[in-house]
Structure 1
Amino acid sequence: MRVDQEIKRGTFFVFISKYSNILIGLVINSILARFLSPNEYGIVGVVTVFITFFSILGDIGVGTAIVQNRDLTRKDISDIFKINILLSTCLGLAFYLLSYGIAWFYESDVYIRIGQMLSISVFFSSLSGVPRSLLMREKSFKLLGGIEIIASVTTGVLVVLLAVKGYSYYSIIWRSILSNIMICVMCFYFSKLRLLAGFGFDGFRKIARYSGFQFAFNFINYFSRNLDNILIGKFMGNQNLGIYSQSYQLMMYPVANLTHVITPVLHPVLARYVDHPKTIFEEYLKVVNILAMLGIPISVFVFFSSTEIVYFVLGSKWMEVAPVLQIFGASIWLQMVNSSGGAIFQSMGRTDKLFKMGILSTFTTISATLLGILYFKSLTMTALCISVAIAANFVIVYYVLINRILGASFLRFLKVIAKHLKLAAVLTLLLYLTQVFGDFRQDNAGLIYLSLIKSAILAITFLAFHFEMVMGLIKKVLANVAGRIKS
C-alpha cells in the first residue's frame, strides 16, 4: 500500500473516532456547564494540571519509542511492560500523597480527597501506555477509535447523571477514573500483550536514547502548556481559572480534533521512511495543506463568533469566556499545524532535536505567560501574550524542521500555507461587515440568527474557494456508497 493511501486509510478511522468524540464531548460539556459553576470547573482544572504531569512521567517516552522501533521482541515488550507496571504503581501512590501538597499550595483541603481519588486514574492512565502503543504500531486505528468511543459514551452518560444528582465536580472526577480504567482494560485485551517469564533490561536499552529525549521533550512541554493554569489558579483564583480553562478547551476542540485526526497516523506510517526524508517532506506538505485549508477559516470564524459559540455551548453565565476565546481563536490555525510537527521529528528519529526545540518553545511560552499573569494581570492579555509566543515558536521550530532536519525548502512550506490567505481575507471582510452592520438583538433569537448567518458565510466562502475539491469528494463518497449497495 502506498504511503498516501496508508495515511488516508488511517486518517479515515481516526476521523470517525475523533469526530464522534467531538460530538459527545460538546454535548456533555454543554450539559455540565449548566449544572456546574466556573468555580467548580476551576477546582477540577487545578488537579487536572498535575494529572497531565503525571501522565508524562508514566509514559517516559516509551510509547513513541515502541512505535518507532520495529526490532523489539515479545520478551522485550514484556519486560518494558513490567517496568511500566512498577512505574504506574509508584506514580499512583505519589499522586495520592501529592494531594496534601496541592491542598497546601492552593490553601484548600478540598483538593485532598479529589487528588486521592484521581490517583486511581493516574495509575490506569500510565498502565495503558504500552498496550495502546502496540495497537498504534500495528496501525489498528479502527480498533483504537472504537475503544475511545465506547469509553466516551459510557462515561459521558454517567457524568451527566451524577451532575444532575448534584455530585458537583465529583461527576467529572468519576468520569476520568472510569474512562482510564475502561481504556486500559480494552487496550490490554486487544493488544494481546502477554507477560513472559523472567525479567531483563535489554528491551528498555534498545529504546532508551529515543524514549529519553521524547520524555525530556514531554516534560518541558508540560510546563509550556500548563504553567498558565497553575499560575492563574494561584494568583487569580478558581473563578478566573474556570473561565480561562473553558476558553482554552473551546479553542482546543478544532486543534485537537482536526490535527489529531491526522497526526496519530503520521508517526506509525512515516517511521518506515526515516532514510527517505524527501518522501516524508512531500507527504507532510499534503498534511500541512489540509490543516491550513481547514484551520485558517476556522480561526477567522471563531474570532468573529466567540460570543455566539460561548452562548450556545456553555450558556449565558459563561459570557466572560468570549473575549478570551476570541484572542485564542486567531491562533487556532497556527496550533493546528504546530501540533503535527512532533510526529515528523519522531519519524526522522530526531527526538533529540525535538527536545531542543521544546526548550526554546517552553522558554518563550513561559515568559509570555508570566508577562500576562503577573504584569498585565488580565486573562485577555495573558491569552494575547501566549498567542504571540505561539507564532514566534512556529517560525523557529518549522525552519529547523524543514530546512535542517528534512533538508527541504522552508519557503515552499510557507507557500503551501500562504495560498489559503485569500480565503481568510474574504471571510474576514464578510464577517466583519456582518458584525458591524448586522442589527441583531443580543438575546436568544438574535444570537441564533447571527450564528446562522455567520455559519452560512463560512460555508459559502469555503465552497467558493474549494468547489472542485468538495464536489470531487462528494462524488467519490456517492460512488463508494453506490458500489456497496450494488455489491
Structure 2
Amino acid sequence: MNETGMKNKVASGLFWKLLENGGAQGIQFVIAILLARLLTPAEYGVVGIIMIFITIANVFVQSGFSTALVQKKQADEVDFSSVCYFELAASVVFYVLLYLAAPAIAEFYAISVLKPIVRVLGIVLFPGAVISVQTAYVSRNMEFRGLFFSTLAASAISGVISIFMAYRGLGVWAMVGQQISYYISLMIVLFLTVSWKPGLFFAFDRIRTMFAFGWKLLCASLLDTVFNNLYGLLIGKIYNEELLGSYNRGEQFPKLIATNLGAAIQAVLLPAFSACQDDRDKVRDMVRRAIRLSSFAVIPMLMGLFAVADTLVLAMLGEKWLICVPFLRIMCVSYCFWPIHITNLQAINAVGRSDIFLKLELVKKALSILALVIGMQFNVFIMVCIKAFQDFVCTFVNAAPNKKLLGYDIAHQWMDVAPPAALSVVMCGAVMAFGAWLPAMSVWLKLGLQIVCGAFVYIVLAAAFRLESFCFLAGIVKERLKK
C-alpha cells in the first residue's frame, strides 16, 4: 500500500475508532449516571473489588497475543484461530482458580456477598478471550466500522439490562448483570459484523512463536494491571468499600476522556506504526503527530473537567457522590500525561522491542511501590496525589528509549505538549473564576455555561497563538468543506 493509501486508511480507521469509543462510552456514561442514582457508593465499591481480580485474570488469558497478532508482519487464519482456542483454554484454568479463590477473597474483605459474585462474574473471561482476538483482527485490518456498531449495540443491551435489574432492587447484581451481558452481546454482534470467524485450525508452533514476543508484554501488562488496581485493592481493604466506590467513580470521568482518545490512537496507530517499522523517520513523524494531536484534545478536556468537577457531580450523580470530587480532580491531573505514555509505548511495541517494554514496566513499578509506601503514611487523598505525581515521573521513563530508537526525546515531547497544556491551565482558571462569579441558578444551567465558557476560551487562545495542532485540524476541516 502506498503512503497516500496508508494515510487514508489510518484516517478512516481513526474516524470509526473514535466513533466506536465515543458512542459506546457515551452510552455507558449515561448508564453509569442512572445506576449511580439507583445504587450507593458502597455497592459500586463491592463490584469494583471483584473487577480488579477479573481484570488481572484477563491479562493471563490474553497473554500478550492480541498485540502479537497485530504486530506480526504476516498473520493468517491459522494464527488467529490458534490464539482463540489457546485463550479459551486459558480461560477455563483461570475461571477455576477464581472459583476456588472466591471464599478467601470474601473473607479477606469481610464481605460475604463477594463469594457468589466472584463465581458468577468470572464467566466474562470466556467471551473476553474471543473478543480479544476479534478486536486484534479488527485492528490489523482496520475494520473499525464493524467494531463501532458492535460496541454500540452491546453497550445499549447491557445498559438496559442493568438499569432494569437496579430498578427491581437487585443492588450490586445489577452491575454484575451489566458486565456479563456486555461481554456476551459484544462477542455475538462482532461475529455478525466482523469478517473473521475461528476455523478448525490449531498450530502450537504458531503459539510458541508469538509467545516469544508476547510473554514480555504479558509480564508488562500484568505488572501494569496489578499496580494500576493496587490502590483500589488497598482502599477497599484499609478503608471501606464506600471510599473505594468514590475513588472508582472519581476516576471514571477523567479516564473516560483519556482512554477514549488514547484507545483510538492505540488501536489505529499500532498497525500503522508496525507497517512502517523499518522506516525510523516515518515512525518518528507519526509519533510526534499523535502526541501533538492527542495532547491538544485530551489536556483541555481534562482541565475543563477539573474546573467543573463539583458542578458536574452534583448535577449528574447527586449530593451523595460529592465525596468523589477530590478524587476526580486528582485523576484529571494524572490522566493529562496519558498521550505521552500511550504513544511512546505503542511506538516501542510497533518496532518489535517488547523487551524494552518489559524493562520500562519494571522500572515504573519500582517507582509505584515507592509512591505507594510513602502514600500509605498519609490519608487516602494524599496517597492518590502522590500516585498522580508518580504518573508524571513515568512520562520520562516511557519516553527514554525513543531518544535512541526514533530520535525523539522527552525534551522535544514536552515542547510539543507544553503549548496546549499552558492554554488548558489558563482556560481552567477562567472557568473556575466564571463559575464562582455566576449567581445562584440551576446546577444544569451552571454546568452548561461553564462548558461553553471553557470551549470558547480554549478555541480563542488556540487560534490567537496559532497552535500547530489547531492549524492542522482547521486545515483538514477547510479541505473537507471544499469537497
Alignment TM class, shorter chain as reference: over 0.9
Aligned to 1:320, the other structure's residue is in SS state helix
Stretch deviating more after TM superposition (11-20 or 356-365): 356-365
Question: Counterpart of 1:485?
Answer: none
Question: Map of 1:103-182 to 2, 5 A cutoff?
Answer: 103-182=106-185
Indicate the residue corresponding to 2:244 in structure 1.
241
Q: Which amino acid aligns with 2:370?
A: S
Contact 1:131 1:191 in 2 (8 A): no
| Aligned residue number for residue 484 of structure 1 | none
Partner residue of 1:349?
352
Q: Which residue identity is paired with 1:238?
A: E
| Shift in alpha-carbon separation, 1:120–1:406, aligned structure 2, 3 A | same
Q: State the Cα deviation string for residues 313-350 of structure 1 (Å, max 9, x = none).
A: 21111001112211222233212432333221111111
From 325, 328, 334, give the equivalent of 1:325: 328
Alignment of 1:461-476 (within 5 A): 461-467=457-463, 469=471, 472=475, 474-476=477-479
TM-score by length of 2: 0.92
**Amino acid aligned to 2:406:** L
The match for 2:466 is none
Shift in Å at residue 388 of structure 1?
0.3
1:210 aligns to what?
213
Question: Matched residue of 1:340: which SS?
Answer: helix
Paired amino acid for 2:448: L
* CA distance in 2 between partners of 1:277 and 1:234 (Å): 47
CA–CA distance in structure 2, aligned partners of residues 151 and 214 of structure 1: 28
Q: Is the 8 A contact 2:307 2:429 kept in 1?
A: no
Aligned with 1:196 (options 189, 197, 200): 200
**Offset at 1:82?**
2.6
1:62 aligns with 2:65: yes
Query: Structure 1 residues 27 and 421 mapped into 2: Cα distance closer, same or farther (>3 Å)?
Result: closer
Gaps of 5+ in 2: 464-469
Q: Distance in 2 between matches of 1:214 and 1:72?
A: 18
| Alignment match, 2:394 | 393
CA contact 1:299–1:331 (8 Å) conserved in 2 = no
State the 1:419 CA deviation. 2.3
What SS does the corresponding residue of 2:377 show, helix, strand or coil?
A: helix
| Residue correspondences, number | 472
Matched-pair identity in %: 22
After superposition, the Cα gap between the structure-2 partners of 1:157 and 1:346, relative to the gap in structure 1 and judged at 3 Å, is same
Which residue of structure 2 aligns with residue 37 of structure 1?
40
The answer to whether the Cα contact below 8 Å between 2:63 and 2:217 also exists between their aligned partners in 1 is yes
Distance 1:154 1:223 in 2: 30
Work out whether residues 259 and 337 of structure 1, in 8 Å CA contact, stay in contact via their aligned partners in 2.
Answer: no
Using the TM superposition, give the Cα deviation of residue 154 of structure 1 relative to its aligned residue in structure 2, in angstroms. Answer: 1.0
**1:300 aligns with one of 303, 316, 336:** 303
Alpha-carbon offset, residue 91 of structure 1: 1.8
Deviation per residue, 1:416-460 (Å, 9 max, x gap): 112224423431442343255x1544xxx3533432332122111
Residues 404-413 or 219-228, more deviating: 404-413
Say which of 422, 437, 455 aligns to 2:451.
455
Normalising by structure 1, report the TM-score.
0.91
Please give the alpha-carbon distance, in whole angstroms, between the structure 2 residues aligned to 1:263 and 1:72.
19
TM superposition shift of 1:296 = 2.3
Match of 2:378 in 1: 376
Give the match's secondary structure for 1:109: coil
Q: Any conservation in 1 of the 2:427–2:457 contact (CA below 8 Å)?
A: yes
- The answer on whether the counterparts of 1:88 and 1:127 sit within 8 Å (CA) in structure 2 is no
Residues 139-185 of structure 1 deviation map (CA, whole Å, 9 limit, x = unaligned): 11111121111111111111111111111111110111121112223
Aligned-partner residue type, residue 416 of structure 1? D
- Does the Cα contact within 8 Å between 2:157 and 2:181 map onto a contact in 1? no
Query: For residue 418 of structure 2, what is the aligned residue in structure 1?
Result: 418
Instruction: Provide the rounded CA distance (Å) in 1 between the counterparts of 2:240 and 2:446.
Output: 33
CA RMSD of aligned residues (A): 2.1
Residue identity matched to 2:14: T
| C-alpha spacing 1:5/1:31, structure 2 compared with 1 (3 Å) | same
Query: What is the distance in 1 between the residues matched to 2:56 and 2:20?
Result: 25
Cα contact 1:61–1:211 (8 A) shared by 2: yes
Distance change in 2, residues 1:191/1:216 (3 Å): farther
Match of 1:98 in 2: 101
1:92/1:188 CA distance change after superposition, 3 Å: farther
